[in-house]
Structure 1
Amino acid sequence: MITVENLTKSFPHNGNPVVALRDVSVDVQAGSLFGVVGPAGSGKSTLARCIALQERPDRGVVRLDGLNTGTLDGRRLREIRRQLGVVGTKPELIAERTIAGNIATPLEQLGVDGPQRRSRVGTLLDLVGLTPRAAQRPAELTEGQLRRVAVAKALAAGPSVLLADDPTSGVSADEAGAVLTVLDRARAELGVTIVVTTPDTTVVRRVCDDVAVLEDGAVLERGTVLDLISDPASRTAQALLPAIETTRAQSARYDRAVDVVLIGFASVGALLPEAAGRFDVELATIGGGITRVGDTPVGRFRLGVRGERSDAALAWIAERGGRVTHAVRGPQGVAA
């Protein structure tokens, strides 16, 4: 587990300090895929470097499995750093070496013998889906393939934590998906805890369990992705949930209009029709849609509601995990 407590970090600029992190606290559970999201300059990369022990904070603590890393130096610091794999925005590969040779480099530096080294490299090539490319050079690969090689190289020494700084930057949408799949496989198959920084909320939707949203060096919100999207007012929900576009005329046809967030197969597929039948009310979808967060379907809908027992129907939906908001009365006060 990674615990970041009240982290503050600044850098000198033209003789004045520029604050990159402001009292940041986050918890990353062991074996999770944790996203740090925010625009350029929000402090994402600085936080990743502090967790990777590449930067020392001005104040605050980074703990790895309870160990205060701020007290480490010399040999002990180097030992702990070997538990942390890092993938930067630019893959650091040796142009003259093959893909297999690049992945083997950390193992050679550790003195791992030939048979073990080849076995480990073979496993990682399979993990990142590049076994057929093993004998090629970096110049022969696409940008997305190079990112996958960089992930394999960072995993070669068997770290317990992998930090990937904006791993899909400059990569096409199709190849970005392959990079994210590799990170997800590393978490699932190797048990590695992964921290991903990104400005792209698509990354969060595809692979993250938990997220921290940064802006101007401070944490605006944090939590599990599914918990955050259940609150339509959260930044995460606004970025990930389907947009709702309706007209006043559509809403005015009903007694009221409400927004509902539903999470999970059972809720998205059956909760609304069951509520309509159980309470003999009309629940008409007039906006919104369905997306997926990881493997979980998530729906946000604007419903036109009509019927004497509509309050009971909406309460029943809420009792079963639906988030019902934005209740607006019909023709006298149509939905905004």
Structure 2
Amino acid sequence: MIKVSGLRKVYGSVVALDGVDLHVRKGEIFGVLGQSGAGKSTLLRCVNLLERPTAGAVTVDGRELTALGEGELRRARQGIGMIHQHFALLSSRTVAGNVAFPLEIMGMPRDRRAKRVVELLELVGLTGKAKAYPAQLSGGQKQRVGIARALAGEPSVLLSDEATSALDPGTTQSILALLKRLNRELGLTILLITHEMDVIKAVCDSAAIMSDGRIEEAGPIPELLARPGSRLTQELFPLPPAEPGSVTITFTGTYTGRADEPVVSQVVRKFDVDVNILGGALEDVAGVSAGRLRVRLTGEESGAALGYLRDRGLLVEVASR
């Protein structure tokens, strides 16, 4: 649905994007994770060409936006909705007026506009708030107005620019649940940027990690979890520095057992080894129970025990001595 190829964006002497490639599949929620200054917001604004890239190509839903003229680009943008970190609502307009604004620009007749606004407010859980003004709303309600406005033109793609970073944890969870529901019910492809790992864990099917204007790694989350040395896995499940000879076991979707299965006890009984647990964590990520466990194995059958774990579909990494 979204394909970014060789994207480069330069502001004077500052290289904000440096050869970015990104592929987002139709109907998935794709999260781009990175710290401030990594280039995330620039990437997002290049996807709908609010920022025109210095070089590279952007294709959305089969159309190469970077090759379109201004008139064609305006029409193509109607299929791309965007929600903002600080809501970007018009304070002089009511909730209904804010949601109707893009429909007015599109030239939709007043009666159809009014009907569409009612549908959208019901969709985002704001029935009864049509006549309220932004100043009368909570942060979560403001973001729901922003989401309704972004959906007004029935887009196939939704871009989210740190949509939850200005919200408290409880409100963040409700907004993420709303995005997940919209993704499922409307078939929306959602590209979101965030600096919060909890957002990636809660809703994303795929993810990318950005740093210094480049993508460090990207792909479906279960694949990243199963990749040796994955930075995403390390940040999802932070552990103390690996000591020489220690073993890190990663539970992913390729594991043939259950994530809560007592696999360590099985290894102890089967191979008569001693296992010293140094640290670990277990989470639900992208609908998969996953986690990391760092241990030290001692005993004559330690090598066989590690082979057994690998045969079960676990990622086993031994720190070099």
TM-based fold match above 0.5: yes
Which residues in structure 2 correspond to 1:50-65 (within 5 Å)? 50-65=46-61
Aligned to 1:86: 82
Equivalent residues of 1:103, 1:153 under 8 A apart: yes
Tell me the CA shift for residue 51 of structure 1: 0.4
Equivalent residues of 2:86, 2:166 under 8 A apart: no
Aligned to 1:10: 10
Change (3 A) 1:305 1:86: same
Q: Which moved more, 1:206-215 or 1:45-54?
A: 206-215
Percent identity between the two aligned chains? 39
- Structure 1 unaligned runs (5+)? none
TM-score (norm 2): 0.88
1: CA distance, partners of 2:218 / 2:106 = 37
Alignment equivalent of 1:25, drawn from 16, 21, 27: 21
Tell me the CA shift for residue 140 of structure 1: 1.3
2: CA distance, partners of 1:141 / 1:280 = 62
Are positions 1:323 and 2:315 aligned together?
yes
Alignment equivalent of 2:35, drawn from 15, 22, 39: 39
State the one-letter code of the partner of 2:116. R
1: CA distance, partners of 2:21 / 2:262 = 37
Are positions 1:258 and 2:247 aligned together?
yes
Tell me the CA shift for residue 300 of structure 1: 1.0
What per-residue deviation string (whole Å, max 9, x for no partner) do you get for residues 72-113 of structure 1? 113211111111111222222222333233222222333434
What per-residue deviation string (whole Å, max 9, x for no partner) do you get for residues 167-209 of structure 1? 1222212212222222222211111111111222222121111
Q: Which moved more, 1:269-278 or 1:170-179?
A: 269-278
Alignment equivalent of 1:299, drawn from 281, 291, 302: 291
State the one-letter code of the partner of 2:11. F
Equivalent residues of 1:244, 1:301 under 8 A apart: no
Alignment equivalent of 2:237, drawn from 238, 241, 247: 241
Equivalent residues of 1:242, 1:299 under 8 A apart: no
Are positions 1:201 and 2:227 aligned together?
no
Q: Which moved more, 1:115-124 or 1:153-162?
A: 115-124
Change (3 A) 1:138 1:315: same
The 3-state SS of whatever aligns with 1:321 is coil
2: CA distance, partners of 1:278 / 1:99 = 64
What per-residue deviation string (whole Å, max 9, x for no partner) do you get for residues 97-130 of structure 1? 3323322222233343456444433443233232
Change (3 A) 1:98 1:231: same
Equivalent residues of 2:31, 2:204 under 8 A apart: yes
The 3-state SS of whatever aligns with 2:318 is strand
Aligned to 2:220: 224
Equivalent residues of 1:20, 1:43 under 8 A apart: yes
Q: Which moved more, 1:89-98 or 1:29-38?
A: 89-98
Are positions 1:313 and 2:305 aligned together?
yes
Tell me the CA shift for residue 287 of structure 1: 1.8
2: CA distance, partners of 1:140 / 1:327 = 56
Change (3 A) 1:119 1:167: same
- Count of residue pairs the alignment pairs up: 318
What per-residue deviation string (whole Å, max 9, x for no partner) do you get for residues 140-180 of structure 1? 11223212211111011111111111112222122122222
Q: Which moved more, 1:80-89 or 1:312-321?
A: 312-321
